[in-house]
């Protein structure tokens, strides 16, 4: 037997396990389950008009207390709800 034939016969492909399929890829006839996309909770824009003076005070409060504007609004609303309860 030639060297090429010997090498060819000796070569073995590594045995590999069949890939596991993700559950959403395995479906039944006519019915395929798709994963529901999970999106992180995103902030939604909230716009309304206020006086220029209120806007200045609101921004100044946020800066003075090292807060973002939405943090000031959320804290104020939570305090208002607690007060009303």
Q: Which two tokens stand for residue 71?
A: 């943090």
Q: Quick: pLDDT tens for 6-15.
A: 566 666 666 7
Q: Which two tokens stand for residue 43?
A: 């902030």
Tell me what pLDDT residue 41 has.
76
Can you give the residue ranges of every domain in the chain? 45-85
Tell me what pLDDT residue 36 has.
72
How much of the chain, in percent, has pLDDT values that exceed 90? 46
For residues 83 and 40, the model is more confident at 83
Tell me what pLDDT residue 65 has.
96
């Amino acid at each position: 037997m030639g060297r090429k034939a010997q090498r060819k016969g000796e070569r073995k492909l590594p045995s590999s396990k069949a890939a596991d399929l993700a559950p959403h890829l395995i479906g039944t006839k006519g019915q395929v389950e798709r994963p529901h996309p999970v999106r992180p909770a995103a902030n939604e824009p909230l716009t309304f008009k206020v006086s220029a003076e209120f806007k200045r005070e609101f921004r100044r409060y946020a800066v003075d207390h090292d807060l973002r504007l939405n943090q000031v609004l959320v804290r104020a609303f939570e305090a208002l709800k607690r007060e009303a309860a």
